[in-house]
Amino acid sequence: MAQQHPEISPELHAFIAAQPMFFVATAPLAPAGRVNLSPKGLETFRVLSPARVAYLDLTGSGNETAAHLLENGRITFMFCAFEGAPKILRLYGRGHLIRPGDPTFHDLAALFPTFHGARQIILADISRVQTSCGFGVPLMKLDAPRELLPQWAQKRTPEELAAYRARKNSRSIDGLATGIDGQP
């Protein structure tokens, strides 16, 4: 049974911190636009306050989240307990992008491990916190985090990463602009 919470409590904050992965969902306004759902990991999520969170977004194959946030700001995060007691936590809110060069990027980036290839930080104000049972989520054990994405980025210069972003991350799959201009 779903339960609403007024904010991210210390107990829910601890639950979030214990999860090795989370999911980010966004969608464009266009009815025919595609909903995007991305798994994330690598210690890239932080609770900043009972109603504000951030995650460090690394360079990847697409940039749907950025396009959708620029268009409408809607974002949902989901955490699932794959070990221990079953639980699903969803955080609904409005997000915006903090890019390198933004005056607040450096201070926020200091909250995360350093990753070569960090593309942006997603900062979100949370308006709804909801838990549900998670009875259908399987029990799974984490072997290890995958280091392939940071390793891939580490092999590229800032200029090569900028060129990749300009080529692969400047438009969503529905053609929305992401604000990536290819600058290192």
pLDDT at 183: 52
Q: What is the pTM of this model?
A: 0.93
Residue range 59-91, pLDDT digits in tens: 988 999 999 999 999 999 999 999 999 999 999
Q: Burial, 184: exposed, middle or buried (Cβ in 10 Å; 0-12, 13-18, 19+)?
A: exposed
Q: Measure Cα distances from 125 to 61, 116, 122, 135 in Å.
A: 26, 26, 10, 28
Per-residue confidence (pLDDT) for residue 180, from 0 to 100: 86
Query: Beta strands 45-49 and 52-58: pairing type?
Result: antiparallel
pLDDT of amino acid 112: 97
The Cα 131–Cα 101 span in angstroms is 36
Helix (H) or strand (E) holding 45: strand 45-49
Looking at domain 3-135+144-168, its CATH class is mainly beta
Residue 182's pLDDT is what?
A: 55
Q: According to the model, what pLDDT value does residue 1 have?
A: 74
Average pLDDT, 10 consecutive residues per value, the chain (184 residues): 94 97 97 95 96 96 95 98 96 97 96 94 98 94 89 92 91 92 57
CB atoms within 10 A of CB 153: 19
* Max Cα-Cα span within the chain: 50
- C-alpha angle with apex 166: 162 to 170, nearest 5 degrees? 130
pLDDT at 150: 86
